[in-house]
Amino acid sequence: MAEEPMENLALFKLTEEETAKVVKEAGGGTVTWARRDGHPTGAYVQIVVVDGQIYTTSTNDRGKNKAWRRDPRTAWVFDVPGKGGVTAIGKVVFEEDPAVKMRVFNTMADAVHLTGDARERFIGHINTRGREVMRLVVEKYVTLHTGKVGVAMVG
């Protein structure tokens, strides 16, 4: 691999399986949206993967939620050091199904190992009328296997 020029990033793509693993293991990432004036912006959010789909939550008064309702196009960025970086390009869909929302909330509680009363308080806190659940419909992944890049740079 060291004989190939470093500019050939195709050598460092993640497989589909590696991509899914990075997204799931990251547990969070940066999400992007465009403000009303067109300026791009982003924020770090917790994400969860349920049945292979990527979700996040936020309250309906947040700027990103309002922006995604105007224009659902986005990019979500995930990273697991030494394993890879993933940029998922697509569109946001707001989930309305209470059963889907509850699965997302439970997966979020699982991600931080909440049980018993702490879990009930957590879910009670996020399962409110103003809480929205958003799913990313991925149109394209751009990936980089950072472990392979590191090896190639010193090899």
State the pLDDT at residue 122: 96
- Report the distance separating Cα 69 and Cα 1, nearest Å: 44
Residue tagged 């403000």 (tokens): 35
Q: What is the pLDDT of residues 9-61, one digit of tens each?
A: 677 899 999 999 999 999 899 999 999 999 999 999 999 999 999 999 999 99
State the pLDDT at residue 151: 59
How many residues are recorded in the chain?
155
Q: How many CB atoms lie within 10 A of CB 121?
A: 12
State the pLDDT at residue 144: 87
pTM over 0.75: yes
DSSP calls for 1-60: -TTS-TT-GGGGPPPHHHHHHHHHHH-EEEEEEE-TTS-EEEEEEE-EEETTEEEEEEET
CA 149 from chain centre, in angstroms, equals 23
| Residue pair 23/78 in contact by the 8 Å Cβ criterion | yes
Of 122-126, 142-146, 148-152, the one with minimum mean pLDDT is 148-152
Where in the chain are the domains? 9-154
- Report the distance separating Cα 135 and Cα 125, nearest Å: 20
State the pLDDT at residue 12: 82
- How many angstroms separate the first and last alpha carbons of the chain? 8
State the pLDDT at residue 1: 45
Q: Residue type for 74, please?
A: T
Q: What is the pLDDT of residues 98-138, one digit of tens each?
A: 999 999 999 999 999 999 999 999 999 999 999 999 999 99
Q: How confident is the model at residue 7 (pLDDT cuts 50, 70, 90)?
A: low
| Residue pair 155/2 in contact by the 8 Å Cβ criterion | yes
CA 26 from chain centre, in angstroms, equals 8
- Say whether pLDDT at 139 is over 80: yes
- Report the distance separating Cα 101 and Cα 106, nearest Å: 9
State the pLDDT at residue 8: 57
- Say whether pLDDT at 6 is over 60: no
Q: How many CB atoms lie within 10 A of CB 19?
A: 20
Range 9-154: architecture per CATH: Roll (2.30)
